Structure 1
Amino acid sequence: MADSAREGDEKVARFWRELGLPGLVDVHTHFMPERVLAKVWAYFDAAGPLVDRPWPIAYRHAESERLAVLRGFGVRAFTAMIYPHKPGMAAWLNGWAADFAARTPDCLHTATFFPEPGADRYTAEALDAGARVFKSHVQVGAYDPGDPLLDGVWGSIADAGTPVVVHCGSGPVPGPHTGPGPVARLLARHPRLRLVIAHMGMPEYTDFLDLAERYEGVHLDTTMAFTDFSESTAPFPPAERPRLAALGDRILFGSDFPNIPYGYAHALDVLAGLGQGDGWLRGVCHDNAARLFGLPERLPRADGS
């Protein structure tokens, strides 16, 4: 990691302390089986077709060190965003994630799914096992979220009220089923879903803000949005800034750690630079996620106080 990123890391704890928070809740972090993560990193290193640009990994560490880095930042709760790219992976990933959550109490038990026979069964099993958040990657999985094989999956998740972080925007590269249309059709059938639109729906920000206004269960995460890296190719429309305040209770901080090409502090600095105020920042960086996931309103501070 570059020296500038290490220097930025020192600013993270100061950020949340100055807001009077006990720490951060990061709803979009990636922990997965080591051989799977190695393949993900290799794909980024090669700037594969779904990335299509240089993408250095800033936090390329072993699992134990990545956990230590997050905890050192003062991240009090985080996720293990797993996702399959083909049939036959999801149930295995869910088994790994359940074990990871059992040995990592500050990680929200994460699960995933894919449109395939048996998806209803293993989704129900994940819910019974205590899954608190699901990940759906429409871009990488190249599937329609409205696939009939997922009807029961969405119904079970909606009934449980369990949030789903869904990468459905067309960034960084469009997929066959990305964009607001498939999600709008899904919500028309399952309006009670608690969807967290990853990356603020980048680059279709306006359309996904529209969906959040229409459906009270729709949230958005800030993952990579507003950063210099993303603004260079998919800038957030300045005219939409006022809507960030209006939807401030349904915007959640996400980082994409460890798979980010810049220091963690930058993702926080750009949120502060939006000029939405300290109350908005407190909600985005901690309180909104604490409410959504049923976390204590004020978790113990990272420094023990």
Structure 2
Amino acid sequence: MNDHRTAPAASAAPSEAEEIRLFRERHGLAGLIDIHTHFMPERVLHKVWNYFDTNGPLIGDLEWPITYRKEEAERTALLREFGVRSFTSMLYPHKPGMAPWLNAWAADFARRTPDCLHTATLFPEPGVETYVRAAVEAGARVFKAHVQVGAYDPADQLLDGAWGLLADAGVPVVIHCGSGPAPGKHTGPGPVARVLARHPRLRLIIAHMGMPEYEEFAGLAERYGEVRLDTTMAFTDFTERFMPFPPGALPRIAALGDRVLLGSDFPNIPYPYVHQLHALERLELGEEWLRAVCHDNAAGLFDL
């Protein structure tokens, strides 16, 4: 008698959320903390997306499709589906007068999004210390500084009081100060080193591991105990093609394991979110290092 049973259908590829769940299970992670995600007023975010779409000057010739071009509610839901228990709303001005308005938006976003760390920003301008103080008093947990986009010197005297205030308050600052993907007038380790010489207790988190000046920024973290690095886009296939991390520097990153934090650049990334996690996993720096980077270091820094 012929057997008319049909062969089982091929298993569907796992969803990205499932892939991330499996990653967390492999490494004993109840959740992730991502300290470099972007939420900002929709019209501002759409301008950012247009900048990537049209290969703005700071992008160069890179093809950079936005993987998560979704509405705000969909993006927050997706992070939660990925198991991200806390994230940020990294936003930044490119001219004077924008920061107070952005800070007001971010405060409202934090009120309606309890798993978002209340984020604020700043710019070298008269009155910056006043609105930075107001943001801290309103509960800001983390600041964003974008030296490349803002085209300003972080060591500008106009910012000195604000840096001192943030150092005294112990509020971390995620700062894009490396010269990737394209150099700016004030990018690189020199200007940041001048800031730290004046404010050695300032909790700077160097975005993108400082790419491409990875080793120079690692040196600042080795010298200053409150300097940290975030993994945003580092070690991914995309970045390794044009700004590879020097393999010889990996032991330094392993030794700094208590001061490396997970960052992704979600939603503005040209690949799936899970790829950042796999890129960290394949460094093979150990289970303890990976758990610390993906969760524990940020949990300790932000008392989560």
What TM-score, normalized by structure 1, do the two folds share? 0.94
Partner of 2:297: 288
Which of 247, 250, 254 does residue 245 from structure 1 map onto? 254
Partner of 1:45: 53
CA contact (8 A) 1:163 1:193 kept: yes
RMSD across aligned C-alpha pairs, in angstroms? 1.3
CA contact (8 A) 2:232 2:264 kept: yes
C-alpha distance in structure 1 between counterparts of 2:104 and 2:144, whole Å = 14
* Structure 1: 5+ residue stretches without partners: 296-305
Task: Give the deviation of 1:294 after TM superposition.
Answer: 1.1
Query: Which segments of structure 1 move beyond 2 Å, counting only runs of 4 or more?
Result: 5-10
Partner of 1:229: 238
- For 1:25, the aligned partner's letter is I
* Structure 2: 5+ residue stretches without partners: 1-12
Tell me if 1:61 matches 2:70. Answer: yes
Task: Give the deviation of 1:220 after TM superposition.
Answer: 0.1
Partner of 1:27: 35
Does the residue aligned with 1:10 lie in a helix, a strand or coil? Answer: helix
Which of 94, 98, 111 does residue 102 from structure 1 map onto? 111
Does the residue aligned with 2:21 lie in a helix, a strand or coil? Answer: helix
Which of 77, 86, 92 does residue 83 from structure 1 map onto? 92
Task: Give the deviation of 1:20 after TM superposition.
Answer: 1.6
C-alpha distance in structure 1 between counterparts of 2:280 and 2:271, whole Å = 15
**Greater CA radius of gyration, 1 or 2?**
2
CA contact (8 A) 2:96 2:123 kept: yes
Does the residue aligned with 1:174 lie in a helix, a strand or coil? Answer: coil
Task: Give the deviation of 1:244 after TM superposition.
Answer: 1.5
For 1:90-129, what aligned pairs fall within 5 Å after superposition? 90-129=99-138
Does the residue aligned with 1:166 lie in a helix, a strand or coil? Answer: strand
Deviation string, structure 1 residues 72-113 (Cα, Å, up to 9, x no partner)? 000000000010000010000000000000000000000000
With CA pairs under 8 Å and 6+ residues apart, which has the higher RCO, 1 or 2? 1
The number of aligned residues is 292
Tell me if 1:208 matches 2:206. Answer: no
Partner of 1:276: 285
What TM-score, normalized by structure 2, do the two folds share? 0.94
- Aligned sequence identity (%): 70
Tell me if 1:154 matches 2:168. Answer: no
- For 2:213, the aligned partner's letter is E
CA contact (8 A) 2:17 2:81 kept: no
